[in-house]
Amino acid sequence: MKHLTTFRLIDAIARTGSIRSAAEQMAQTPSAVQRRLQAYEEELGYQIFDRSPGGVRLNAAGELVIQHVRETMAETVRLRSRIADLSGNRRGHVSLGCSQALVPYFLPARISAYQAEFPRVTFDVQVLEHRAAALALEDFTVDAVLVFSDGGVPEYEVILAVPQTLAAVMARDHPLARHDSLRLWQCYDYPVIAANRGFGGRTLLERSLYDKTFARAPVLETNSFEYLKAHVAATDAVTFQIQIGAPDPGGTGEIVSRPIDARDVPGGQLLLGKKHGRNLSVAASRFVEDIRKQLAEAYPD
C-alpha cells in the first residue's frame, strides 16, 4: 500500500541497521530513504534513530515508533483479509513460526488440508527455536507459532499447550520395532544418534538421561534431520524425535517410531501461541483454530 512506504522504509532501516542497506533492499537510493526518514522525524518532532558513523540504531522514541509501524502494517493485511472474506473468495496470507519437529508431518498435512478448502490462502513457514519464535511474534513477522518448549513461561499468549513425550525412531525391521513402546534403556543397546544441542527434542533427551546410568553420548550428532533419517534407515542406529515429529508407528515407510515410556521422559510441551492482544487476519485465525482443534483431538487431556 502506497501510504505505508515510509513505514516499510522505517522497518527496513530498523532491521538492517543502516540507511544505505535499507535503501538497497527497497530498491532505492540512499538519499531518497534518508529524506523520507528525515521528513518523518521532522513531522513527528523527534529523532527516532541515533546516528553513528557505523549506521543507525533505534532510540527510545524509535522503539515506540517501530512497534506502531509494525502493528499498523499487520493491521493493514488483516483489513485486506477481512474485506476479501466478506466478498466470499477467501484469500489471505498466514505466516507461521514452528519447531523443526512440525516440519516433516504435522504442518504439511494441516496446511495442505487447509489449502484444499481455501486455495487462495498463501503460507509462510519459518523454522524457529522457541526464543526466536517469541521474538518473531513480537515484531509481527509471524502471525502465530507452534513450537516445542521444555519449560519456562512464554511471554506470548498460549492458545493451546499439549504434552509431548519422546519417540524412538528406527528402521522398520529393527529389533526394537517389535515392541509397542520402549523404555529408554532399551534404546541404548544400540548406537544412538541425535540432533545437535539446541533442537527441542535433544534438550528433552538430555533431561531424560540426567540421572540414568546407561546414558552415553550419541555416537553421532548432526544438524540435519534428513541425515538422521537416512542413517537410521540404513543401520541399526536409533534416534529420538518429539512425538509429533516422529514417523507414524504403523507406517509403511523405511523408518518407524515407537513411543518412549512416559516414566522416562520429563514433560515437554507443544505450544500454540500468538502475540498477546493481537488480532489475527481471518485466514490466520481460521488456520490457528484449525490447528487447535486438531491438536485438542489428538491429545485429549
Partner DNA sequence: CATGGCGTTGCTTGAAATGCACCACCTGTC
Partner DNA sequence: GACAGGTGGTGCATTTCAAGCAACGCCATG
| Site residues (vs DNA, CB under 7 A) | 2, 5, 18-21, 27-32, 34-39, 51, 53-56
| Residue 262 contact partner, candidates DNA, a second copy, none, CB within 5 to 8 A by sort of partner | none
**Residue type, position 291, single letter:** I
- Residue 88 exposed, middle or buried by CB count within 10 Å (0-12, 13-18, 19+): exposed
287 binds a second copy, rule: CB under 8 A: no
Distance CA 126, CA 143 (A): 11
In which region does residue 43 sit, left (phi positive, over 0), alpha (psi from -120 to 50) or beta (all else)?
Answer: alpha
Nearer Cβ to a second copy, position 41 or 236?
41
* Under rule CB under 8 A, residue 87 binds a second copy: yes
Cα–Cα distance for residue pair 274/268, rounded to 1 Å: 19
- Return d(Cα 12, Cα 19) in angstroms, integer: 8
Q: Which residue intervals of 60-190 are DSSP H helices?
A: 60-86, 106-117, 130-138, 184-187
Stretch that binds a second copy, among 56-64, 146-154, 191-199, 213-221 (CB under 8 A): 56-64
List the single partner that 46 binds among a second copy, DNA, none, CB under 5 to 8 Å by kind: a second copy
Site string for a second copy, 222-261 (x = CB under 8 A): ----------------------------------------
x-marked contacts with a second copy along 182-221 as a string, rule CB under 8 A: ----------------------------------------
Task: Give the integer Cα–Cα distance in Å for 68 and 173.
Answer: 56
In the region spanning residues 7 to 46, those forming contacts with a second copy, defined by CB under 8 A, are 7, 39, 43-44, 46
Q: Which of 35, 51, 60, 181 binds a second copy (CB under 8 A)?
A: 60
List the Cα angle 240/242/244 in 5-degree steps.
130
